Chain A
Amino acid sequence: MGDARVHVNGSIAQSLSPDSPTLRLGSDSPLRMDSGAALAPLTIAYQTYGALDPAKSNAILICHALTGDQHVANLHPVTGRPGWWETMVGPGRPIDTDRFFVICPNVLGGCMGSSGPASINPETGEPYGLDFPIVTIADMVRAQALLIDHLGIDSLFCIAGGSMGGMQVLQWAASYPDRVFAALPIATSARHSSQNIAFHEVGRQAVMADPDWRGGRYLVEGARPAKGLAVARMAAHITYLSEAALHRRFGRNLQDRSARTFSFDADFQVESYLRHQGQIFVERFDPNSYLYMTRAMDYFDLAADYGGSLASAFKDCRTRFCVVSFTSDWLFPTQDSRAIVRALNAGGASVSFVEIETDRGHDAFLLDVPDFVDTTRGFIDAAARARGIA
């Protein structure tokens, strides 16, 4: 793990001094959070692509998922790999950086430069750890709204995001309906299901069971709960795929061997793959941040904030929606998207809904799925014509 240690340090370095522009707000304007906490100072790291037009009408906000970050369409500063949504964002892509001004902030509670548990607590001069206030999806969106204010943008042309990013899209439309012209919530839900909370709890317990977690004080004590986080990632990664996708890719194939070893080595390719996924994840992600992100998703129940009625959350919403789900996504199944669509319809909103046929599971929203790319392109282009920026 010698190499990995260098990268881990690189990840913490990104948390404290990211390779991204940052917005820093001082203690004169603390962020009021759902938990009652007031956070100051507040830092938001973000990437932008393309140019804002003079009327400031062509801005698209991308909201990233649980383990994503702001590096949508550039080489990742820690891993050196391409951006996580280059199938969708870039010159000539559906979210066309030649035509649109694309903004992606690292979420509040994240570990790539925005304020989070690895940030320095001004009261102690040490990393917050678990003293960082619990973050909700609405808190993330409040922080993003401050960034949009800072960029001088009144109304976003579009907000797009999958999974946890889709939750932020829905929250934006509910919290700031006048500031969102078009919304593209993908493979998401208006409330996190019991099964998904259960999976998240398994992940958190894996992190916290690692003796190097040290009650969340590993950064102060110079430890690194990499094994716990890797196990959490392995378990979660299974939920992002589908049985069919796993079978197609790995089957029961053996890894670099012709027979079983009668041991607990990674005999099967799928074991080797998951171990690798776990290892590369800990190079770029902060374990405490993982706890905060999963908690934010667990707490998300948009209807609960509007008297139990999701339709009320979108009442009189003028935003144009395109809701997308994937047939083999069992983490955020189509029925979750349909619930969103029903609520939007009940509120009279303009909504399209597509269920994309694919066997690639929840992660399909990150992959090059032609029907999905076509739908997105059609929706964005039509919305741009309606906005007069085509």
Chain B
Amino acid sequence: MTLARTLAPPRVDLLRVAELVAPGSRVLDVGCGDGELLRLLVEERNVDGRGIELSQQGVNDCVAKGLSVIQGDADADLADYRNDAFDYVILSQTLQATRQPRVVLEHMLRIGRRAIVSAPNFGHWRVRAQLAFLGRMPVTESLSHSWYDTPNIHFCTIADFVALAAEVGATIDKSVALHPRGRPLNPIWPKWAWNLLGEQAIFLLHRGG
């Protein structure tokens, strides 16, 4: 699978997400930022891509790239989309910043035949160590905000997300945990090891059994 062909190399976690998307499908990227993932999907996977982004700058960047992006946010605007409108609904590094992650996930599973969620793992050992040994709210390379100014208001661990998926009746078709540089963890490792060593995880889900 060769996805690394764009000028500035895309973030490795975006490549991992992109690899889960079937070519030629319809994709909604929720919280699409400057459109890096969407453009990767459009150019490399030939998808019909749409995005939702909160920031003015992000939307402008996307529009300038020729992407179809709506200014809005996951909490407020997903309700407007009809059932099965997309093949994939992607939430990349955004779940932890939503006000109602469970409602957002339920909408994603309703709007898309598949949902792809990537999220930082609050169970990573560095996070646990900072809380356990320093007694301070964790600040790491990938979670670089202080507690008082973080947009990330709903952190979860890999185990928490797996539990939420079960609660909303979703099936996890694929999952991968990533090392800090985006290298996948050995998939045969047990889930507790993922929860300790994975800096982030990516899940491919669908609703129902």
Contact = CB atoms under 8 A, between A and B. Distances in A.
Interface of A: 320, 322, 341-342, 345-346, 348, 350-357, 371, 374-375, 377-379, 381-383, 385-386
Contact of A353 (B61, B64, B66, B71): B71
A348 B70 CA distance: 13
B96 interface: no
Contact of A352 (B56, B67, B82): B67
Contacts of A320: 68
Interface in B65-121: 65-72, 80-82, 85
A355 B82 contact: no
A341 B70 contact: yes
B18 interface: no
B80 A352 contact: no
B81 A345 contact: yes
Most buried by B among A345, A348, A351, A379: A345
Contact of B59 (A346, A352, A382, A383): A352
Q: Is the interface of B mostly helix, strand, loop or mixed?
A: mixed
B62 A352 contact: yes
Contacts, number: 60
A263 B63 CA distance: 54
A378 B56 contact: no
A354 B71 contact: yes
A352 B65 contact: no
Contacts of A350: 50, 68
Nearest to A341: B70
Contacts of B56: 354-357, 371
Nearest to B49: A350
Contacts of B61: 378
Nearest to B64: A378
B66 A383 contact: yes
A352 B64 contact: no
Contact of A354 (B60, B65, B67, B81): B60
Given A348-B85, A351-B68, 5 more contacts: A352-B68, A354-B71, A371-B60, A382-B64, A382-B66
Given A345-B81, A385-B66, A375 B72 contact: no
B64 A342 contact: no
B63 A352 contact: yes
Contacts of A375: 59-60, 63
Contacts of A352: 59, 62-63, 67-70
Contacts of B66: 382-383, 385-386
Nearest to A322: B63
A386 B61 CA distance: 17
A379 B80 contact: no
A382 B70 contact: no
A375 B85 CA distance: 27
A342 B78 CA distance: 10
Contacts of A341: 70
A382 B63 contact: yes
Given A354-B56, A371-B56, A346 B64 contact: no
A374 B60 contact: yes
Contacts of A379: 63-64
